[in-house]
A and B are shown apart, each in its own frame.
Chain A
Amino acid sequence: MGRYLRFCWLPFLVSFLFSGLVLFVWNNLVKQHWANLVQMTRLAERDVLKEIKTRLEFQLNALQRLAARWEVYVHLSEEEWRKDVLAHVKHHPGYRSIQWVDSNYIVRWVVPSGNEQVRNMRADFEARRKEGLKRAEENSALYISPILDLIQGGKGFIVYLPVYVNGKNDGFIVGVIDIYIFLHSILGEYQLSYEILVEAGQEPLYTRAANGHFKPNRLTQHRRLCLNNLKWDVYVQPTSAFIRLEQTFFPELILSGGLFIAVLLAILTYLVQATRQSSEKLRLANEELQHEIKERENAELAKDKLKRALLQSQKLEAIGTLAGGIAHDFNNILYSVIGYTELALEDLPRHSITYKNLTKVIAVSKRGQELVTRLLSFSRQQQHTFEVISLLEVITSTLTLLKPTIPASVEMTLETSVEQAIIKGSYTDLQQVLVNVIGNAVDAIEGKGAVKILLSQVELTEELRQNHPTLTQLSYYLVEIIDNGPGMSKATLERAFEPFFTTKPVGKGTGLGLATAHGIIQEHSGLIGIRSQLGEGTVVYIYLPHWGGGK
């Protein structure tokens, strides 16, 4: 389980990180959307404010122009004034009434009709109205009252404009503006995507909102409009319809898409991991397979080598049996020849040529007998008595033995890296082997040359064992007899150990030397072999088990 979890941490990490990224982006998108809304609302707010202000100013300017024309009106009748003002009122919605209040603060003229009751009433009946009149008079300038309750209900403000005739105050043009109507005329259809609230103090002047309730939210933008005595708080916020409209599902799309991709990534990562793992497993399996194949191949090779070695020794044994069989008959033949010749000799004069020739016959026949004996010694399964001997001593004594037979042109050297080389074997047999092999080496060199004998100890390496499967001991002594003669051809090399095979001229070699040597070395649980190439000389190598080396 733990291994599984460990395996899973990467996909989780990847999808976690990616999810984080997606969330980050989504969050940013949401924020941005929000910021957009806020910005739009702000702009709308600005516009609303501007609109109100503009209208106000426009209206006030118009009113001021109207007031400025008072001198003209003096010379006109009330009717003319009324006409004018009505036109003004028509063009500028929001007026409850426009009055001419004389310098005694009495309402004289009033439009539109329906407001007759205020005629001849005092315009300063109330504190703020009074204030307004006074101020306007004092400053000789337009004065706007704060928001106050209007006589006929509702809220509004009053604009006081002093008028002059010949430089003398002739009263005031008073505009009573119903704030709701006024604002409604401005904002009724303005920026419909937004809800608007205009407040003075805490009192709502104009509300355009769903269900008539303006509920501020996080998007609400607020500004203060100040004009003269008017201090209005204007709140603007997008309608829920607008918000809904503006709502894109883009962020949500990103979010869900992103999370989906995160999951996909996790799966992908997991798959990649799994693939990598299985491909790694595959690679390992493949490697193992390769290794096994190689081992199998090596085993086959070793087996082949062993088979061939066995075949070779079987051949030699067969030849041995054959030789044994032949030997018996041959001995009989020789015996007959010798016997008859001896009989004949008895009947001949001693000094005759015939007598002499016949003695030669016997001599030659005796050589034949020697040959047979040697042949038999090769073919016999004799258990020679083994003793603990020094291989080095065998070599040195053999060299001493052969010294007289070695020509001066042949340089003979012995190099040893071991002290004694103790082995178990037959001194005479091993000497016979060395005599044969060294003799061959010397014979191979025509004229000037060198024969080098190396003695060393070797451990049985895997490579060695594979090449020579018959070697089973742990350590061996290796004797190498190296000559720089002409070397052997491949054909010769193949038949070197064959009994009766010789490259020497007839009568010079029996062809049994190496065959006998092979048998002897085999009895010693060793190995004898030849490495040779034409033009490169010859190396005869002999492995003999180290005594006391153990298994």
Chain B
Amino acid sequence: MSHILLVEDDEFVRDMLTQVLERASHTVISAADGEEAIEILRRFKPEVMITDIVMPKKDGTALIAEVAEKHPQLKIIAISGGGRLGPEGYLDLSEALGAHASFKKPIDKEALLMAVDLLLMENEKQ
């Protein structure tokens, strides 16, 4: 049973991604921003976190930095549609901070699901 924490401020993307992940037999807990995510992480222990970067309140990169430190066993996937910088900029940064993978929106569904599976497998090995 895999639990994925989805952090995404756009409600449609959030809903759509949740459906995609649930159809792939994952359990999804979603948060709308970084603060909510931190809250959820207190109570739940998902295996993977998929987070957007450009978000209000707590920035995605800050979230990643914090999570990587506090929950080192949590696998992090960063996604981004870009902002002032192109998505690459943010994603490179994310990986430097502790994300294990990063994707540019719109994301190839198969690639994302495969990344999730790979990361889950790694988790099981540990």
A–B complex contacts, Cβ < 8 Å, 6 sampled: A324-B83, A328-B82, A332-B10, A334-B106, A335-B107, A376-B86
Give residues 113-155 of A contacting B (CB, 8 Å): none
The answer to whether B105 and A335 have CB atoms under 8 Å apart is yes
Give residues 294-325 of A contacting B (CB, 8 Å): 321, 324-325
The answer to whether A339 and B82 have CB atoms under 8 Å apart is no
Contacting residues, chain A, for B85 (C-beta < 8 A): 324, 380
Task: Write the nearest CB–CB distance from A122 to chain B, whole angstroms.
Answer: 169
A-B contact count (CB 8 A): 68
A336 within 8 A of B: yes
The answer to whether A365 and B82 have CB atoms under 8 Å apart is no
Contacting residues, chain B, for A377 (C-beta < 8 A): 86
A392 within 8 A of B: no
B81 within 8 A of A: yes
A329 within 8 A of B: yes
Give residues 1-45 of B contacting A (CB, 8 Å): 10, 12-13, 16-17, 19-20, 23
Task: Write the nearest CB–CB distance from B114 to chain A, whole angstroms.
Answer: 15
Task: Write the nearest CB–CB distance from B64 to chain A, whole angstroms.
Answer: 18
Give the interface size bracket for B toward A. Answer: 20 to 34
Contacting residues, chain A, for B109 (C-beta < 8 A): 339, 342
The answer to whether A336 and B23 have CB atoms under 8 Å apart is no
The answer to whether B16 and A331 have CB atoms under 8 Å apart is no
B84 within 8 A of A: yes
A346 within 8 A of B: yes
A342 vs B100: C-alpha distance in the bound complex, in angstroms?
26
B54 within 8 A of A: yes
Beyond A331-B105, A336-B10, 11 additional contacts (C-beta under 8 Å) are: A324-B85, A330-B81, A335-B13, A336-B12, A339-B13, A339-B16, A339-B20, A342-B20, A342-B109, A369-B106, A380-B86
A325 in contact with B83 given A332-B105, A339-B109, A369-B106 (CB within 8 Å): yes
Give the interface size bracket for A toward B. Answer: 20 to 34
Partner of A331, one of B20, B84, B106: B106
Partner of B105, one of A324, A334, A343, A380: A334
A343 vs B13: C-alpha distance in the bound complex, in angstroms?
12
A479 within 8 A of B: no
Partner of A338, one of B10, B83, B106: B106
Task: Write the nearest CB–CB distance from A232 to chain B, whole angstroms.
Answer: 141
The answer to whether B83 and A365 have CB atoms under 8 Å apart is no
A340 within 8 A of B: yes
The answer to whether A325 and B16 have CB atoms under 8 Å apart is no
Partner of A324, one of B12, B16, B84: B84
A187 within 8 A of B: no
Give residues 330-355 of A contacting B (CB, 8 Å): 330-336, 338-340, 342-343, 346
Task: Write the nearest CB–CB distance from A367 to chain B, whole angstroms.
Answer: 12
Partner of A332, one of B13, B19, B84, B86: B13
Contacting residues, chain B, for A365 (C-beta < 8 A): 106
Task: Write the nearest CB–CB distance from B91 to chain A, whole angstroms.
Answer: 13
Task: Write the nearest CB–CB distance from B37 to chain A, whole angstroms.
Answer: 18
A331 in contact with B17 given A336-B12, A339-B109, A343-B23 (CB within 8 Å): no
Task: Write the nearest CB–CB distance from B22 to chain A, whole angstroms.
Answer: 10
Q: Give the residue among A330, A334, A335, A342 with the most B Cβ atoms within 10 A.
A: A335
A365 vs B106: C-alpha distance in the bound complex, in angstroms?
10
Task: Write the nearest CB–CB distance from B100 to chain A, whole angstroms.
Answer: 21
The answer to whether A339 and B23 have CB atoms under 8 Å apart is no
Nearest A-chain residue to B107, judged by Cβ: A335
A328 vs B54: C-alpha distance in the bound complex, in angstroms?
8
Task: Write the nearest CB–CB distance from B105 to chain A, whole angstroms.
Answer: 4
